[in-house]
Structure 1
Amino acid sequence: MTLDLDLQGKRVLVTAGTRGIGGATVALLRELGATVLAVARSQPEGTDDPLFAAADLTTAEGCAALADTVAWRLGGVDIAVHVLGGSSSPGGGFAALGEEEWRRELDLNLLPAVRLDRALLPGMLAQGSGVIVHVTSIQGRLPLPEATTAYAAAKAALSTYSKSLSKEVAPKGVRVLRVSPGWVETEASVALAERLAEQAGTDYEGGKRIIMASLGGIPLGRPARPREVAELIAFLASPRAAAITGTEHVIDGGTVPTA
């Protein structure tokens, strides 16, 4: 990016900040001069990031501990980017989803953002400024019933929560936005495409086509890249987007067939 986004010195928290969208967002915001605390369950082997915090954000205790860490290491935040999410639910439609599967999806895709916002927002409101970015998913609108019903429902709940929060805090100087990716070529999705390719007796590009077909096609012809999603997040979090709040910004190569 060549546009000066005026993010120098901003204090930023990024969850799931060691790989995929989160890792790309951490790297880009640091390039742009922000002070970024990256959070994940554990630091990848062979890395030594001085601004890293380990936390299990699927629990209330983990979120509370991270909020204390933010206060100690950053003195508060100007920007919070909630990237954490994912799904490990089995295929098989609604019948395969028991209490444990539903709770796991909510604990991963909805409640960490709610809990961290509750802890961090008072500081933003006190300073009269701040930005919160919730990373949702196009599956909130385009669920895949075979395997992602609970994930899609949790992300849809996150989107609704985000919109409501934006209406409450925008008059007090805090912007709340959503970024809604489609299929993104992260480490996990590469592994999935390779596995599907092996099962189908094809190559990686063939595996990618299998995934795109399951989504009903991607008009752009490829998945988004983590850096592309990070660039959208960086712009929305910057003062260049000061008049944008309460909105959801889809980055899916045209996958969702409606406006």
Structure 2
Amino acid sequence: MHSTADPPPPETLEEITQLLHHLLPATLSITCFASRWQVLRAKLASLKSILSEISDSPHWSDNALLLPLLPALLSTVRRTETLCHHCCDASVSRGKLLMQSDLDMAAGWLSKQINELELLLRSGVLHQSTAIVLSRPAASSSKEELAFFIKDLFTRLQIGGLEFKRKALDSLIQLLSEDDKSAAVVAKQGNIGCLISLLDLNGHDSIRELAVLAVSLLVSAGDFPRKCVFEEGALGPFMRIIECGSMPMKEKAAMAVEFITDDPDNSWAISAYGGFPF
């Protein structure tokens, strides 16, 4: 029996696939809540296709990002199966509004989990045998190797747990600190919006501190990264950090804002926040 700290066994993917194999045809006989089941059926079919593609990937079974997603996905599919049984069985009494809410929640969970799986597939990390964070490419590495490394880091930032995020940010900061030219590749290949979202004051302090440093390094590295950061809406989060953050974060955020607003095309935006709050 696996402890909660252990990764799920590879059989979990097969179990989900088998559930979908039986669940999809079963939904066709449902006559109530037709529009909601049409949406759910489309999501289940999409999920089945994605899982088939994942199972064809050579390293899916040892991917540290994928495996933690499978138990929650299995739970969602089982829950959807239960809802299917309830809708097929006229003897089951369940309030209409409650069932509608349950179906909408199931659709929402499936959407989120499908998006995470699609992100993994698009990133290409399932075709590589990966540790918690890939080793940084050497200076002699090709642009393709650097691009893959950056995509992997941002995949971990988007769907990884706290430790994945922390290690990915550490690697990103090291890359930006040691190689100014990498900033343009990060801005082009990475999901800058995801990085900006980590500046949220409601997030984990240690992650936000690392994110502030990473973004400040990006905006100081050139016009293109600075433009990307500004267009993804970093100014607002930085201004909130200047107002409410710790002193080290305030200093880095203020430096980043100065770099952003040094560009005449961006300087107007500072007035939207009432100028610097100090």
Q: Normalising by structure 2, what TM-score?
A: 0.29
Q: Normalising by structure 1, what TM-score?
A: 0.30
Which protein has the bigger strand share?
A: 1
Larger Rg: 2
